[in-house]
């Protein structure tokens, strides 16, 4: 069940939200609210495929049990942590990477091992990482408060279950104690605006650009301009899609009285790759840094080791995104970018070169999206060659002015406009999402702006949903 | 202040939703919720057929691809069959089975005339929801939102005059548009024009068995319905050897497999009858009947309809299903019409066959 699907918007959300608000208002404690939302979240998960419900429940039970053992701080705490990490990685490895490994082994060793045809359970990458983080956190802070029902809530809370943000136990669970005291009207108005803003970003912008991106990557042409337009369309699609989804998650969290961590902070305005990774998929970057890069040694053992750690972290980060060489290549490329960026940071560069940081970063990021999206490494190399003007450009076709218009608006928005959190912080100062204030949003605003903005976002989301339900005339010439 | 914001957000969202859905429900361009017009239809079969199935009267249903589109309900009138045609050009087995399930769920049909096309059953093509709206065939809680909350549908609701003024009997019939495209010369020209096109790689085993299993389940659970299934007459040129290419499956092998499995289904189900026009020599070897290797003319269509209602159509069973076809292949020698042979005769094939074929 996607947040943009009718069943979620018109059935699941209104019913669950109404019940949750009633329990927040009339419940004696937060426990009935926690139970209701946990049951609703598990139903949300099971809706896609009921067979996956035992998997997430089993994962929750095993991790909660191991967490309890680790928290006992006895001699078996450390082995239990290792077992827990292995269990989670094993689960992820089987469901996400088993077939990839078999196919790779087949092609490298010339064998013919049949694939397992494992279906990837939705959200497993997110809830597995979240639980690994929990086990490590419990190991370091055995006093971490952990009621079973709270733990179920922490793992399954539906706004963050299938696409993040990756939440720490300490970020979510303490909020449950105050959920009944919060101002429901304030939460609802902030959450609705954020949700509709995210929905509009997803259905109105990302899905429209996605059609162009799919058309280009489905059949890459040798035209230089077409290649840049196609890759640009994908770069914007993935940003508006993922950040829109994160906005919806944050908005939903807020409607239920809980503040989820920010995942995007204008990443295409980053002035360096290091800066980019502080702004793009922030909760994943934080996880990779805290639970992989630092345990590997971080920057504590010299530059060579530091660069090796960066490369390993980013390669594994790429692999986390999907079982494919394209993702590994994307991660490796960003690892190299980061190494280069850290090395350059030690040099005294001329001012003009520092000023070029933003466009150079943007171009590097756009370039790296190619293996992330292309159908295989052959297409990736081909598109890269075209982008660099190294392939024949004789097949150039006329410009699609609609696409140029969409791209222009899209790039202006991501490069200069305030992001969702900045807008929300400006309109709803009590929201206080951690982000730099936008220079474009300052001073007082008339009170009528807020309802007007809310209505505009609601309308944009509705129109976006209507635009997405397409009717294609089926033309067939052979049959 | 917050209450105002919440109200504004909800109204901003719900008013367009209600407006669009309300207007679309009132106009209902594909007549999904109710029968509105008897003689104004869309040519977009995949979107329109569910409404026809749900809201129109019939006791017999025709399901198939473009090869079945020239059948007219009136052709079955001599037998007093009240036929509804819900064909869709280029339809795959999955689409036809969705259509069949919807027909059977309505409980109105006493008989189904179903085209059995090996092409439909051997290509595992997935269509996008915009092309094949499966939510109209399998109604769920989401169906009203997927159908009515649509900008494209809104455009159609605003322009009802754009729908064709067609009697139901003529719906989807393309014969009149392609009348001049038939004949042996056109057929050969069409084949020649296809020779330069790249061969689609299709190494995987086709999902014939899964689709036929689904079909058999529907047949066996509806014993009161008679299933008249038809192998349509492709020209004998289609019996040529498959391309010699390791990564492409031999289409003849797939076709024989499909035919044998279909005959096996028929042998197990007394309410299913299987007619075989694909091995009817005087039709498949008469190349003047065709405009391309798969599409036959109106005279052939009328002949098949007549033989179906008089029950004189050629029957296929487990014993003869492939033997007749293989014998035909041997006698006809389709290799005469291979690309290599055609290029010897005419190095510059005309593009005549491209004329008038749009939408077929």
Task: Tell me how long chain B is.
Answer: 360
Q: In this structure, how many other beta carbons lie within 10 angstroms of the beta carbon of residue A371? A: 25
CB contact under 8 A, A450 and B90: no
| Residue A335 distance to chain B (closest CA, Å) | 37
**With contact defined as beta carbons under 8 Å apart, do B70 and B89 qualify?**
no
Is residue A124 scored above 60 in pLDDT? yes
CB contact under 8 A, A462 and B90: no
Enumerate chain A positions whose Cβ falls within 8 A of a Cβ in B.
5-7, 10-11, 183, 185-186, 188-189, 192-193, 196, 447, 450-452, 454-459, 461-463, 465-467, 469-479
- Tell me what the mean pLDDT of segment B13-34 comes to: 96
Q: In this structure, how many other beta carbons lie within 10 angstroms of the beta carbon of residue A137? A: 18
Residues of A in contact with B149 (CB under 8 A): 6, 465-466, 469
- What ipTM goes with this model? 0.90
| Residue B129 distance to chain A (closest CA, Å) | 8
B298/B176 Cα distance (integer angstroms): 9
CB contact under 8 A, B6 and A454: yes
**With contact defined as beta carbons under 8 Å apart, do A165 and A283 qualify?**
yes
**With contact defined as beta carbons under 8 Å apart, do A46 and A53 qualify?**
yes
Residues of B in contact with A21 (CB under 8 A): none
- pLDDT-based confidence at residue B125 (cuts at 50, 70, 90): low
> CA-nearest residue of chain B to A458?
B13
Q: Which residues pair with B60 in a beta bridge?
A: B83, B111
**With contact defined as beta carbons under 8 Å apart, do A23 and A32 qualify?**
yes
CB contact under 8 A, A457 and B9: yes
DSSP characters for A390-431? -S--TT-----HHHHHHHHHHHHHHHHS--HHHHHHHH-TTS
Is residue B354 scored above 90 in pLDDT? no
A477/A473 Cα distance (integer angstroms): 13
3-state helix, strand, coil in chain A (%, to 5): 70, 0, 30
Of A329-333, B268-272, B289-293, minimum mean pLDDT range: B289-293
CB contact under 8 A, B6 and A10: no
Of the residues B6, B10, B64, the best mutation for testing chain A's interface (the one with the most A CB atoms within 10 Å of its CB) is B6
Active site residue A321: yes
Dump pLDDT digits (tens) for A10-62. Answer: 999 999 999 999 999 998 899 999 999 999 999 999 998 999 999 999 999 99
- Tell me what the mean pLDDT of segment A57-79 comes to: 92
B140/A466 Cα distance (integer angstroms): 18
**With contact defined as beta carbons under 8 Å apart, do B265 and B219 qualify?**
yes
Token pair 């190294």 is found at A390
Q: Shortest CB distance from B131 goes to which of A10, A456, A472?
A: A472
**pLDDT recorded at residue B302:** 96
Is residue A274 scored above 80 in pLDDT? yes
Nearest CA to A453 out of A239, A203, A192, A186 is that of: A192
Quote the radius of gyration of chain A (alpha carbons, Å): 23
**With contact defined as beta carbons under 8 Å apart, do A383 and A391 qualify?**
no
B132/A266 Cα distance (integer angstroms): 38
Higher pLDDT, A144 or A411: A411
A31/A40 Cα distance (integer angstroms): 14
For residue B347, CA distances in Å to A116, A129, B190, B341 come to 49, 64, 14, 10
- pLDDT-based confidence at residue A392 (cuts at 50, 70, 90): low
Residues of A in contact with B132 (CB under 8 A): 474
Dump pLDDT digits (tens) for B221-259. Answer: 999 999 999 999 998 888 876 554 445 556 788 889 999
> CA-nearest residue of chain B to A466?
B150
Q: Where are the alpha helices (DSSP H) in A141-257?
A: 148-156, 158-161, 169-176, 184-200, 207-218, 224-255
- Mean pLDDT taken over chain A: 92
Q: Which tokens sit at A220?
A: 């890459």
Q: How many CB pairs under 8 A join A and B?
A: 140
Task: Tell me how long chain A is.
Answer: 479
CB contact under 8 A, A185 and B17: no
Q: What is the pTM of this model?
A: 0.87
Is residue A431 scored above 90 in pLDDT? no
A21/A25 Cα distance (integer angstroms): 6
Dump pLDDT digits (tens) for A219-237. Answer: 888 788 899 999 999 999 9
**With contact defined as beta carbons under 8 Å apart, do A202 and A248 qualify?**
yes
A475/A208 Cα distance (integer angstroms): 22
Q: Shortest CB distance from A454 goes to which of B5, B66, B131?
A: B5
| Residue A187 distance to chain B (closest CA, Å) | 9
Q: In this structure, how many other beta carbons lie within 10 angstroms of the beta carbon of residue A473? A: 13
**pLDDT recorded at residue A474:** 55
B96/B102 Cα distance (integer angstroms): 10
A389/A222 Cα distance (integer angstroms): 9
CB contact under 8 A, B6 and A479: no
| Residue B359 distance to chain A (closest CA, Å) | 5
- Tell me what the mean pLDDT of segment A352-356 comes to: 85
Percent of chain A at pLDDT above 70? 97
**pLDDT recorded at residue B248:** 55
Of the residues A469, A475, A476, A477, the best mutation for testing chain B's interface (the one with the most B CB atoms within 10 Å of its CB) is A469
The residue annotated as part of the active site, out of A169, A281, A321, A334, is A321
Q: Shortest CB distance from B12 goes to which of A185, A454, A470?
A: A454
Q: Shortest CB distance from B153 goes to which of A5, A10, A471?
A: A471
Is residue A173 scored above 80 in pLDDT? yes
Q: Shortest CB distance from B359 goes to which of A450, A456, A475?
A: A475
**pLDDT recorded at residue A396:** 59
Nearest CA to B72 out of B84, B60, B55 is that of: B84
CB contact under 8 A, B9 and A450: no
SS (H, E, C) chain B: CHHHHHHHHHHHHHHHHHHHHHHHHHHCCCCCCCCCCCCEECCCHHHHHHHHHHHCCCCEEEECCHHHCCCCHHHHHHHCCCEEECCCCCCCHHHHHHHHHHHHHHCCCCEEEEECCHHHHHCCCCCCCCCCCHHHHCCCCCHHHHHHCCHHHHHHHHCHHHCEECCHHHCCCCHHHHHHHCCHHHHHHHHHHHCCCCCCCECCCCCHHHHHHHHHHHHHCCCCCEEEEEECCCCHHHHCCCCCCCCECCHHHHHHHHHHHHHHHHHHCCCEEEEECCCCHHHHCCHHHECCCCCECHHHHHHHHHHHHCCCCCECCCCCCCHHHHHHHHHHCHHHHCHHHHHHHCCCCCCHHHCCCCCC
Higher pLDDT, B195 or B267: B267
Of A160-169, A432-441, B13-22, B120-129, minimum mean pLDDT range: B120-129
Nearest CA to A7 out of B149, B105, B10, B25 is that of: B149
Q: Is A2 strand, coil or helix?
A: coil
Of A281-295, A428-442, B260-274, minimum mean pLDDT range: A428-442
Q: Shortest CB distance from A471 goes to which of B16, B20, B47?
A: B47
CB contact under 8 A, B14 and A462: yes
Q: Which tokens sit at B238?
A: 């289609």
The DSSP secondary-structure symbol of A356 reads T
Percent of chain A at pLDDT above 90? 76
For residue B42, CA distances in Å to A188, B88, B160, B293 come to 44, 12, 10, 28
């Amino acid at each position: 069940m996607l947040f943009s699907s009718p069943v979620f918007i018109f059935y699941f959300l209104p019913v669950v939200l109404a019940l949750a608000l009633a329990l927040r208002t009339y419940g004696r404690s937060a426990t009935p609210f926690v139970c209701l939302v946990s049951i609703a979240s598990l139903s949300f998960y099971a809706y896609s495929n009921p067979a996956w419900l035992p998997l997430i429940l089993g994962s929750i039970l095993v991790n909660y049990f191991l967490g309890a053992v680790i928290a006992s701080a006895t001699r078996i705490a450390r082995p239990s942590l290792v077992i827990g990490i292995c269990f989670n990685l094993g689960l992820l490895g089987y469901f996400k990477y088993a077939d990839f490994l078999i196919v790779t082994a087949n092609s490298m060793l010339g064998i013919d091992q049949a694939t397992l045809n494992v279906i990837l359970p939705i959200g497993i990458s997110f809830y597995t990482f979240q639980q690994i983080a929990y086990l490590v956190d419990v190991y370091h802070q055995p006093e971490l408060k952990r009621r079973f029902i709270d733990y179920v809530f922490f793992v399954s809370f539906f706004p963050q279950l299938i696409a993040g943000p990756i939440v720490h136990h300490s970020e979510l669970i303490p909020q449950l104690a105050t959920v009944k005291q919060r101002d429901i009207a304030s939460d609802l108005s902030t959450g609705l605006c954020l949700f509709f803003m995210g929905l509009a970003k997803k259905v109105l912008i990302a899905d429209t650009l996605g059609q162009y991106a799919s058309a280009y990557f489905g059949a890459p042409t040798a035209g230089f301009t077409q290649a840049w337009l196609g890759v640009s369309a994908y770069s914007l699609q993935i940003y508006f899609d993922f950040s829109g989804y994160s906005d919806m998650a944050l908005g939903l969290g807020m409607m239920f009285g809980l503040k989820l961590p920010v995942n995007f902070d204008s990443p295409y305005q980053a002035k360096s790759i290091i800066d980019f990774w502080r702004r793009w998929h922030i909760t994943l970057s934080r996880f990779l840094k805290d639970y992989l890069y630092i345990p590997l040694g971080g920057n504590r053992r010299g530059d060579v080791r530091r660069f090796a750690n960066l490369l390993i972290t980013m390669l594994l980060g790429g692999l986390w995104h999907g079982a494919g060489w394209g993702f590994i290549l994307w991660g490796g490329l960003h690892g190299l970018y980061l190494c280069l960026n850290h090395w350059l940071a030690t040099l005294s560069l001329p001012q003009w070169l520092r000023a070029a940081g933003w466009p150079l970063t943007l171009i590097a990021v756009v370039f790296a999206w190619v293996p992330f999206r292309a159908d295989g490494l052959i297409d990736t190399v081909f598109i890269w060659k075209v982008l660099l003007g190294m392939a024949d450009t004789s097949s150039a076709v006329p410009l699609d002015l609609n696409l140029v218009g969409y791209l222009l608006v899209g790039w202006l928005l991501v490069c200069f406009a305030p992001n969702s959190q900045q807008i929300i912080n400006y309109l709803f100062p009590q929201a206080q999402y951690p982000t730099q204030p936008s220079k474009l949003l300052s001073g007082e605003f008339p009170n009528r702006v807020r309802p007007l903005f809310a209505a505009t976002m609601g309308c944009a989301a509705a129109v976006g949903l209507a635009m997405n339900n397409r009717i294609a005339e089926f033309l067939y010439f052979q049959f | 202040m917050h209450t105002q914001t919440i109200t504004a957000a909800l109204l901003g969202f719900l008013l367009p939703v209600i407006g669009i859905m309300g207007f679309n429900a009132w106009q209902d361009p594909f007549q999904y919720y109710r029968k509105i017009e008897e003689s104004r239809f869309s040519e977009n079969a995949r979107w329109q057929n569910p409404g026809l199935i749900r809201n129109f009267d019939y006791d017999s249903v025709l399901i198939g691809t473009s090869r079945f589109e020239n059948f007219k309900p009136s052709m079955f009138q001599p037998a007093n069959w009240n036929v509804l045609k819900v064909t869709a050009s280029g339809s795959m087995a999955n689409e036809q089975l969705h259509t069949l399930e919807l027909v059977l769920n309505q409980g109105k049909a006493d008989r189904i005339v179903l085209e059995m096309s090996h092409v439909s059953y051997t290509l595992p093509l997935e269509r996008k929801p915009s092309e094949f709206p499966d939510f109209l065939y399998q109604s769920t809680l989401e169906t009203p939102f997927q159908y009515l909350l649509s900008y494209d549908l809104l455009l159609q609701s605003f322009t009802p005059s754009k729908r064709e003024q067609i009697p139901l009997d003529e719906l989807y019939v393309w014969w009149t548009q392609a009348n001049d495209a038939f004949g042996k010369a056109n057929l050969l020209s069409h084949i020649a024009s296809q020779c330069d096109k790249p061969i689609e790689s299709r190494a995987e085993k086709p999902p014939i068995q899964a689709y036929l299993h689904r079909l058999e389940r529907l047949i066996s659970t509806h014993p009161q319905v008679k299933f008249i299934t038809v192998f349509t007459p492709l020209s004998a040129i289609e019996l040529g050897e498959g391309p010699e290419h390791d990564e492409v499956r031999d289409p003849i092998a797939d076709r024989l497999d499909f035919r044998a499995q279909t005959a096996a289904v028929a042998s197990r189900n007394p309410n299913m009858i299987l007619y075989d026009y694909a091995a009817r020599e005087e039709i498949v070897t008469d190349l003047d009947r065709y405009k391309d290797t798969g599409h036959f003319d109106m005279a052939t269509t009328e002949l098949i309809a007549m033989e179906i209602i008089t029950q004189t159509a050629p029957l296929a069973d487990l014993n003869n299903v492939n033997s007749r076809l293989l014998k035909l292949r041997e006698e006809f020698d389709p290799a005469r019409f291979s690309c290599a042979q055609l290029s010897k005769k005419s190095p510059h094939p005309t593009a005549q066959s491209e004329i008038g074929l749009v939408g077929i």
